[in-house]
Amino acid sequence: MKKEFIVHSSEEVRGIREATAAAAEVRDRLKIIAVPGMTTKEFDSIAGGIMSSKGGRSAFLGYKNFPGQICISLNDEVVHGIGKPNVIFRHGDLVSIDVGINLGGFIGDTALSFVIGGNPEHGETALLLDVTEKALYAGISAAKCGNCVYDISLIIEKTAKSAKLGVVREYVGHGCGTSLHEPPEVPNFVSGRKGPKLRPGMVLAIEPMFNLGTHLVTTDPDGWTVRTKDGKLSAHFEHMILVTENEPEVLTWRKM
């Protein structure tokens, strides 16, 4: 029978801590490196270089034949965008980067969205970024021992609804740690299922993906790039967390 969830041993958690700390560092360094005029392919190669300088490698490259080191999704692209030699970052682009690192067999997976040249303070892009990130932290706060996956999904969906944002349904958060995708799934919306109860040692990647317009998405002919059906902007924030006896611990926290 397929497992419903995985509880990681303290030894595994030690390895996962190192991988997630490395992923967080790569993510934050990349945010600083992204400047107007750089091709997304060049950015992808830099990401690969930073990961190997940390002693790791991309957990995405080659996964189901994914061709990139990281996922780089621009503007109406939701997730799984691929760095391209003919696409450059432009001032004002909304970019979502998703970093997955494999460090000695342990996985760190984290994502964030930002605007090239600096995040706006007002307007709908600012709202999208703000609410999606808030939903991530709301979801994390619900990842308490004794709660169910449902409680995380509920608060994330509520946060989106309060700002009338579309919640992507095809892609969801997930267990993570010794494989990129482990049970359980962590949807950003509720369904009839409560999902497993949260127990200390569970490691989850919580990752709201919200759209300014419709929740509907399409996939490009490249088989990877997911974009909004109405061409409106999308944002994506992801942290990995460890469920503990007490408050959840954010493993991909910024250490800067």
Give least dist CB 122 to Mg ion, A. 30
Which SS3 state, helix, strand or coil, does residue 40 take?
helix
Give least dist CB 194 to Mg ion, A. 22
Q: Name the segment binding Mg ion (CB under 5 A); options: 11-19, 87-95, 102-110, 217-225.
A: 102-110
Give least dist CB 98 to Mg ion, A. 7
- Structural tokens at position 179: 């494989």
- The residue (of 67 and 231) whose beta carbon lies closer to Mg ion is 67
- The residue (of 141 and 179) whose beta carbon lies closer to Mg ion is 179
Site map (CB under 5 A) of Mg ion, residues 204-243, x = contact: -x--------------------------------------
Give least dist CB 234 to Mg ion, A. 15
Q: How far apart are the first and last CA of the chain?
A: 43
Say if residues 213 and 124 touch (Cβ distance below 8 Å).
Answer: no
> Which parts of 150-209 interact with Mg ion (CB under 5 A)?
205
**124-141 vs 149-162: helix axis angle to the nearest 10?**
160
> Which parts of 104-123 interact with Mg ion (CB under 5 A)?
109
Give least dist CB 252 to Mg ion, A. 10
The DSSP symbol for 229 reads T
- The residue (of 129 and 205) whose beta carbon lies closer to Mg ion is 205
- The residue (of 77 and 109) whose beta carbon lies closer to Mg ion is 109
- Structural tokens at position 156: 């994330």
Say if residues 20 and 251 touch (Cβ distance below 8 Å).
Answer: yes
Say if residues 100 and 107 touch (Cβ distance below 8 Å).
Answer: yes
Amino acid at 128: L
**10-33 vs 40-53: helix axis angle to the nearest 10?**
140
- The residue (of 34 and 59) whose beta carbon lies closer to Mg ion is 59
- E-strand stretches of 61-180: 71-74, 77-79, 94-103, 106-115, 166-167, 173-175
Q: How many residues bind Mg ion (CB under 5 A)?
A: 2
- The torsion angles phi and psi of 134, rounded to 5 degrees, stand at -60, -40
Q: Measured at CB, which residue is nearest to Mg ion?
A: 205
- The residue (of 28 and 124) whose beta carbon lies closer to Mg ion is 28
Give least dist CB 85 to Mg ion, A. 26
Positions that interact with Mg ion (CB under 5 A): 109, 205
